[in-house]
Structure 1
């Protein structure tokens, strides 16, 4: 019974119910959407968003943010695309992508954790630098003519019409979730985000945890850049633009608090499916996909406001509970009061 209550209270359950309700509503408006190939397309199209959102979750867990993931993805995609176009091996391209992610993650971690810069401002600056590097690296041209076998792999299905990429991503999300919830080191991310000073006082490696969160976030975005090349088949200087907003929205929609210390990667993965499906669902609803960014922004604003209200109420409730506890401790015991009454 306790497990059922805990499951019902899970924040990611709300996002799952919202996803199912969204699919049911669209299916009721246009029954063609309920075809298995159309439903699976929503999941297949969320592969890159899921990777970026899961990486973003680590940074949000510690109470920070990283808005450079979109440019990180674009730069990695450009580098990997040119390497594969020029005949380099896929293994070498993946290694280079991971190295790019590690370097960017260390730079972001250094700026936020060592220099003490606000994470939003510093990563926004890194985002601008990376965008500039993409233009310098590509000379403003598209990266095209990628190997056919590399592009064709994105259309390979493993279970029914679900792609092998999405199946691998689901397996990765499950493994990460187990590490974060079942290991001591994994629980450090949430602990640091919940109370960084308290975590330091009890001996948790706060600095190391924050640095690792930024590295993981950047590496996930870089791997997303590799898959982006495979799925899209070409790279433009603007590739990855706006992915940071969708990743943040996916995480918050999945139950991760912007204040840190709350949520799970499963919630971010579910949120990624919702955010990546918006443009696809709009078409079945008879609207233009041009509304995608506007709807994404509205969802993000609404969820942030709701999260802020919940956080405020939780803070007020905790203060009220502590006050009641102190008052009850300071009040004289009933037996003592009775004795005083008898003496009088």
Structure 2
């Protein structure tokens, strides 16, 4: 029973449980939702959100936020697609896209950590700038006619699992190991939990915050390249509002918006949930114009339920600690009383002699 309790105290398990319930619930209504092809489609569709959520986790753990990732994804997709269409080497195009994403993240990080611009303002401003640059770069036109070899890469499978999804899972595992095992990996949560305390113990807070935004931009640029490969074209609206999905995925996975709490595994599960919801609405034949409303409603319900569940466990644990302290205090008082009685008896006996 204690083991089960400890398992369900983890936010990632709550998110995973909801994902399973979602598949089973929709599967009862439409069995096609739980067949191998449908599940494979959900896994493939979640790749973009997983990469965005991985990068966003770094930023959220420090107590910041990055709403520019949609623009970063769009410009990275446009630049890499244009280069590849023009005959450039794919690896060169990917490298340039990653440099662009990292540079955008660097500007965000410096603005937040050094100049002290509020994260939401800095990244929102950067989103507008990047969107404008993208439209100028593409002249407002679609980037189409990409080579078949580039588009077919998104269809490649290993053991019937999409290669991009495997790459996303490997990235998630490596980042989670970094967070849990590496000393610097633990700095991000420490900064978000207590910035002043982190600085006092010698953590280079400004440096780590900048790194967090650089990694967020880097992950967004990788997602942009994958988007171009999966879809086969890039529009001037590519990536619009996708930052909200990335943030929602992290929150669903248990990452705190106030910083200091969460894991990249939970964020990736949240990304799977967001993708599964979109797919479920199709199988349930819900009109597409309801998608945003239903997503928002489910997000609120899940987060509120998660907060209530974990608040219950925290309150219960707090009561147990207070009870243990009270018992310890009673025991100490009793021991002190017994000691006083013993001392008094000894003194009385000695005077009697």
Whether these two folds match at TM > 0.5 is: yes
Q: What is the CA distance between 1:185 and its match in structure 2?
A: 1.2
Match for residue 16 of structure 2?
Answer: 16
Q: What is the CA distance between 1:278 and its match in structure 2?
A: 2.0
Q: Tell me if structure 2 keeps the 8 A contact 1:188–1:209.
A: yes
List per-residue Cα deviations over 1:257-312 (Å, max 9, x = no partner).
11111111111111101112222211111212332222232234445556777898
Q: What is the CA distance between 1:159 and its match in structure 2?
A: 2.2
In 2, Cα distance between equivalents of 1:2 and 1:102: 44
List per-residue Cα deviations over 1:71-96 (Å, max 9, x = no partner).
11001111111111111111111110
Match for residue 148 of structure 1?
Answer: 148
Map residues 192-203 of structure 1 onto 2, 5 A cutoff: 192-203=191-202
List per-residue Cα deviations over 1:185-207 (Å, max 9, x = no partner).
11111111111111111111211
Match for residue 252 of structure 2?
Answer: 253
Match for residue 59 of structure 1?
Answer: 59
- Return closer, same or farther for 1:62/1:288 CA change in 2, 3 Å cut-off: same
Match for residue 80 of structure 1?
Answer: 80
Map residues 1-344 of structure 1 onto 2, 5 A cutoff: 6-160=6-160, 162-303=161-302, 305=304, 333-334=333-334, 339=340
Q: Tell me if structure 2 keeps the 8 A contact 1:279–1:289.
A: no
Q: Tell me if structure 1 keeps the 8 A contact 2:9–2:313.
A: no
Q: What is the CA distance between 1:36 and its match in structure 2?
A: 0.4
Q: Tell me if structure 2 keeps the 8 A contact 1:50–1:273.
A: yes
Q: TM-score, normalised by structure 2?
A: 0.87
Q: Tell me if structure 2 keeps the 8 A contact 1:257–1:307.
A: no
List per-residue Cα deviations over 1:171-217 (Å, max 9, x = no partner).
11111111111111111111111111111111112111111111111
Secondary structure of 1:235's match? Answer: coil
Larger Rg: 2
- Root-mean-square deviation (CA), in Å? 2.9
In 2, Cα distance between equivalents of 1:335 and 1:67: 60
Q: What is the CA distance between 1:66 and its match in structure 2?
A: 0.4
In 1, Cα distance between equivalents of 2:186 and 2:5: 22
In 2, Cα distance between equivalents of 1:34 and 1:26: 8
Unaligned runs of 5+ in 1: none
- Return closer, same or farther for 1:279/1:312 CA change in 2, 3 Å cut-off: closer
Unaligned runs of 5+ in 2: 346-353
Q: Tell me if structure 2 keeps the 8 A contact 1:280–1:289.
A: no
In 2, Cα distance between equivalents of 1:213 and 1:317: 34
- Return closer, same or farther for 1:5/1:335 CA change in 2, 3 Å cut-off: closer
Q: TM-score, normalised by structure 1?
A: 0.90
Secondary structure of 2:158's match? Answer: strand
Of residues 187-196 and 307-316 in structure 1, the stretch that sits farther from structure 2 once superposed is 307-316
Q: What is the CA distance between 1:67 and its match in structure 2?
A: 0.3
Equivalenced residue count is 342
- Return closer, same or farther for 1:312/1:273 CA change in 2, 3 Å cut-off: closer
